[in-house]
Amino acid sequence: MEVAQQITQLSYANTNNLVKELCAIGIVQEITGNKRNRAFTYGPYLSIFNER
């Protein structure tokens, strides 16, 4: 979340809400299963590498 917070310049709470919303609409997926130090993936970006 720290990287997203640095990029967006939002508070932790607002960054967390933004990431939750991105997950809810299917843009990003959480891949660690952790409550802290989570990592996310952006499927459309990764699919570029699977096309070749």
Indicate the helix (H) or strand (E) that contains 41.
strand 40-41
Whether the pLDDT of residue 20 is over 90: the answer is yes
- Specify the number of domains making up the chain: 1
How far apart are alpha carbons 14 and 44 in whole angstroms?
24
What would the pLDDT profile of 24-51 be if each residue is shown by its tens digit?
Answer: 999 999 999 998 889 999 988 888 888 7
Domain interval for residue 45: 2-50
